Chain A
């Protein structure tokens, strides 16, 4: 019998970014992205919630060792993005617009490669207290 449980780990990082599509003119970018298009960037405190779902292991009682999950997030996500400019300092967003949606997808894909495939993974990312995204849904 299955007893699926969700476990969550909360982390945070802060970063600068801007929303800009290089295929559009400055005028169109300004119209679509408004103040988020500021050429000198702006920034956020991002809150990241990583959700892992699965059956607790019969030997440990864990869905996943939370210390291990925390270390994975720190090593593969926080160290990469914290106190960085997402557009300029990260290869992931050198060509991809760093919207909250895309950041959540990127973080999910990074972590997915390091987490047991028997476990489901979902990422929630808060860009501000009032704006947040979930991936996958």
Chain B
């Protein structure tokens, strides 16, 4: 088993704001991130798949294909966008880095070839803050 990672990046606006709470409570919990008029980040996205190299190509997966899948199902939807307003797979969700990573996982999983497994979505919100999602491992 070997792990293959592709790095992509995008930038977007968002805010952390729970519409069921008062403005005061949002500001108390989310601080500067609750700014009504949004703020933004350069996100770095690491997508890791695992599998066994094909004996004929030596590839776990054609990395060009992985790049195209990420572009088509993730980057096109989020790059230069407002995560709260513009992104269908985040509608009704809190736009935290955690939820964004899980959303990206769900966007990619159905499109991967059968012989590879999605292993990890690692998402940097800033150079100092990142999350990793390994899928729903509650049954493991």
Contacts and interface: CB of A to CB of B under 8 A. Distances in A.
Given A40-B13, A42-B80, A45-B126, A83 B35 contact: yes
A135 to B, nearest CB: 21
Interface in B40-80: 40-42, 79-80
Contacts of B35: 83-85, 89
Interface in A12-49: 12, 14-17, 35-36, 38, 40-45
Interface residues of A, number: 22
B112 interface: no
Q: Which of B14, B39, B41, B127 has the most CB of A within 10 A?
A: B39
Chain B's interface size range is 20 to 34
Interface string B7-23: 00101111000000000
B107 interface: no
Contacts, number: 76
A84 B37 contact: yes
Contacts of B80: 35-36, 38, 42
B35 to A, nearest CB: 5
B11 A40 contact: no
A15 B82 contact: no
A41 B41 CA distance: 11
B40 A44 contact: yes
A41 B11 contact: no
Given A35-B79, A42-B82, A88 B37 contact: yes
A12 B9 CA distance: 18
Q: Which of A44, A82, A128 has the most CB of B within 10 A?
A: A44
Contact of A43 (B9, B14, B85, B127): B14
B37 A85 contact: yes
Contacts of B86: 38, 40
B29 interface: no
A17 B12 CA distance: 9
Given A35-B79, A41-B38, A128-B9, 6 more contacts: A15-B39, A43-B11, A43-B14, A43-B38, A84-B37, A85-B39
24 contacts: A12-B126, A14-B39, A15-B39, A15-B40, A36-B80, A38-B82, A40-B86, A41-B38, A41-B40, A42-B80, A43-B14, A43-B39, A45-B40, A45-B41, A45-B126, A45-B127, A84-B35, A84-B37, A85-B13, A85-B38, A85-B39, A88-B37, A89-B37, A129-B42
